[in-house]
Amino acid sequence: MSKALALVVVLFFVAFCGECYGELRVGFYKGKCGITDVEEVVRDVVRIWHFTKREKDIAAALLRMQFHDCFVNGCDASILLDGNNSEKKALPNSSVRGYSLIDAIKEALEARCKGLVSCADIISMATRDAVVLSGGKWYNVETGRKDGKVSLASNVNLPSPSISVSDSIKVFGSKSLFGNKRLSATDMVYLLGGHTVGNTRCSLIQDRIYNFNNTGVHDPTMSQWLFSELVKKCPRVPSNNVDNIIPLDMKSPSFVDNSFFQEIQKGNGVLQIDQQLAFDGLTKKIVGDIIKDPNFFTKFGEAMVKLGRVEVLTDGQGEVRTSCRVVNKKSFFFGLFN
């Protein structure tokens, strides 16, 4: 092949692919469902859910869902599968929400273009749309994933809220992306910034408030203001077994912004790992740079795109489920008898 012809081939591939990474690309479904804009269908359902059903915290739910899905067997929607021993049944996933929204999106898409859009792609697109509705900025989502066929609670091994920064960096760095790349420490910090709309419960931070590392006192890295607020919301002895919900960003819990990083720099990080991001030498500078960076929204979106590249299944792997809650019947019988 001549150099001129080779150049033409390369330019044709780039033009055809658009923005792509591995076998994922922006606009994967464009033109594949007649005049229907797949991403617009997803966006409309998320918008209805956000406003009509009054679920203003749907961004927190979907950010958590995408993270929990991608960190177990990759971004393959295995977290959506029902079953007595599926990932849904694992303790770390007991607080994951948003399943009914994903079902509604899938139903709307199946009515227009049956068997085309994967549940794994729906999670990524819906999360982006929910982030935008919560004050974040638009970012292009790569699509083209296939859905996994395996979902086991025993495979769920997610980092705990008390993990050290160094161990967290190792966990994030162990996730392989297309092109043999890994999630970096900077990616990790931005992704944990999704806690700006997240929540936890008193039972998960009780030790930080009253008996940090068995010292009998609160975590010394916690500001006095935060300590006072948490004592009000999380009494040492809960009444009537009430386990109150606590926002992870106490200042602007309903908006996707960089206030989370400003707060942890002041000692107002609710989770131990969040607080340590601002104080640990491995990530302190990253947090400081994010606070000063006017391009927070762009870089947060870039980190979400990288998360969506974790160990994905594409053509020749997985399937496009008819229902996000069960594998397709053909796949079930194939797995049962082979």
C-alpha–C-alpha distance, residues 82 and 202, integer Å: 28
Is 218 among the residues known to form the active site? no
- Apex 297 CA angle, 292 and 298, nearest 5: 100
DSSP states of 272-284 as a string? HHHHHHHHSTTTH
Distance of alpha carbon 79 from the chain centroid: 12
**Residue 246 · residue 270 · CB < 8 Å:** yes
For the chain, the first-to-last Cα distance in angstroms comes to 44
Q: According to the annotation, is 72 in a ligand binding site? A: yes
The three-state secondary structure class of 15 is: helix
Q: According to the annotation, is 159 in a ligand binding site? A: yes
Q: According to the annotation, is 52 in a ligand binding site? A: no
Q: Among residues 43, 64, 68, 175, which one is catalytic?
A: 68
CA dihedral of residues 212, 215, 216, 219 (deg, nearest 10): -30
Facing residues of 26 across strands?
142
Distance of alpha carbon 142 from the chain centroid: 14
Q: According to the annotation, is 249 in a ligand binding site? A: yes
Q: According to the annotation, is 167 in a ligand binding site? A: no
Pick left, alpha or beta for residue 267 (phi over 0 → left; psi -120 to 50 → alpha; otherwise beta). left
Q: According to the annotation, is 203 in a ligand binding site? A: no
C-alpha–C-alpha distance, residues 118 and 140, integer Å: 17
The three-state secondary structure class of 20 is: strand
Return all residues near 51 (Cβ < 8 A) that are at least 6 apart.
none
Q: According to the annotation, is 87 in a ligand binding site? A: yes
- Which residues line the annotated binding site for substrate? 159
- Which residues line the annotated binding site? 69, 72, 74, 76, 78, 87, 159, 195-196, 249, 257
Catalytic residues: 68
- Which residues line the annotated binding site for heme b? 195
- Which residues line the annotated binding site for Ca(2+)? 69, 72, 74, 76, 78, 87, 196, 249, 257
